[in-house]
Amino acid sequence: MTAERDFIPLNLCVLTVSDSRTLANDSSGDYLIQSLTDAGHRLVERKLLPDDRYKLRAAVSQWIADEAVDGILVTGGTGFTGRDSTPEALLPLLDKQMPGFGELFRALSFDEIGTSTLQSRAFAGLANATFLFCLPGSTSACRTAWEKIVSAQLDARTRPCNLATLRPRLKE
């Protein structure tokens, strides 16, 4: 019989990307913070930045370089419209992409919103053993991603494999 695994609380940062939202109406940032803390993880820092790829790179690079940060959740700027440029800003920072994350997210979302989900360029990956999940701006999209993918990936009790358990080995 396999022993029960312990939950490992992770230190997570949340970044909202939006030209129009403020902390007063950042429901998607609020949702992610509530979800991660309800799950037993810790919020290290929250930021809200405009769709400016250099500001996004600077903030996320700082978190990636911080050994105390285990993961980063980003919401917003994944679409095709306006100044959406989260992928252009943050994909260059990744050491490794998480293949299939965006495809899995869109497959799950297809059941909810149909082909509109193809307008989301959600993606995920690893940099300096820090997990980065980039989700759309809408709260319902964040809920789908959190409930169906991210929460399990960050939960060390999840079998057969998850990022929380893998983390100590990512730098070996």
Ligand X SMILES: Nc1ncnc2c1ncn2[C@@H]1O[C@H](COP(=O)(O)OP(=O)(O)OP(=O)(O)O)[C@@H](O)[C@H]1O
Regarding 155 and contact with ligand X (CB under 6 A), the answer is: no
Contact call for residues 96 and 126 (beta carbons, < 8 A): yes
Give the position of tokens 């920072």: 93
113 binds, among ligand X, ligand MTE, none (CB under 5 to 8 A by kind): ligand MTE
Pairing relationship of beta strands 71-75 and 123-127 according to DSSP bridges: unpaired
What is the layout of strands, in order, in the sheet containing 96-97? 42-49, 11-17, 71-75, 130-135, 123-127, 96-97
Select the residue interacting with ligand X from 56, 70, 79, 164 (CB under 6 A): 79
Nearest alpha-carbon partner for 137 in 70, 66, 79: 79
x-or-dash pattern for ligand MTE, window 103-142, by CB under 6 A? ------x--xx--xx-xx---------------x-x-xx-
Contact residues for ligand MTE, defined by CB under 6 A: 79, 109, 112-113, 116-117, 119-120, 136, 138, 140-141, 144
Contact residues for ligand X, defined by CB under 6 A: 16-18, 21, 26-29, 75-79, 81, 84, 136-139
